[in-house]
Amino acid sequence: MNPTPKATLSKPTQLLFHIAARSHTLAELFGVNQIFPDVSSPGVLQFESIPRPWLVPHPIHPDEYSFDPEKFAERLRGCSSGQRYMILWILNVWNPGLAASKGWHFDLFKCLDSLDADNREAIMWWFKNPIWP
């Protein structure tokens, strides 16, 4: 009897999870923790068992899951201002052109004034290492 193969994340979506794991707010929304076995390690993702309706089958590779920004943006309804800033930030990291077309405006200066140190540090880390999914 063959076990059911586990679905994998597309490479861009894996990268997005690594970016999100640096912020406690996004890590909670993504249901992921980043474990650093040692100082030189890039970190390993540990996934929590939560629903992720914004992960959808990749259109070309159906055995992979991809990030659906429009479904993730549904989280903007009824969230705190800190969550809102972090959601808008990750949506703009994912695809700035799509974010602009959808009106998902991210204001860096307003967010820095209201976010806690951990979330500000996650954004600053990304600015120092601007990787795009």
Q: Would you say 108 and 122 are in contact if contact means Cβ atoms under 8 Å apart?
A: no
Q: Is residue 43 part of a domain?
A: yes
Q: Is residue 71 part of a domain?
A: yes
Q: Is residue 104 part of a domain?
A: yes
Instruction: Tell me whether strands 55-57 and 64-67 are parallel, antiparallel or unpaired.
Output: antiparallel
- Say what angle helices 81-94 and 117-128 make with each other, to 10 degrees: 10
Average confidence (pLDDT) over 15-39:
88
Average confidence (pLDDT) over 58-74:
94
Q: Is residue 2 part of a domain?
A: no
Phi/psi of residue 7, each to 5°?
-70, 150
Q: Is residue 133 part of a domain?
A: no
**What is the pLDDT of the chain when averaged over all its residues?**
89
pLDDT confidence of 132, banded at 50, 70, 90? confident
Count of structural domains, the chain: 1
Q: Is residue 25 part of a domain?
A: yes
What pLDDT, in 10s, does the model give residues 71-107? 999 999 989 999 999 999 999 999 999 999 999 999 9
DSSP H or E segment with residue 20: helix 11-20
User: Domain span at residue 110?
Assistant: 8-127
Q: For residue 118, is pLDDT > 90?
A: yes
How far is it, in rounded angstroms, from Cα 107 to Cα 89?
Answer: 9
Q: Is residue 62 part of a domain?
A: yes
Q: pTM for the whole thing?
A: 0.88
Q: Is residue 85 part of a domain?
A: yes
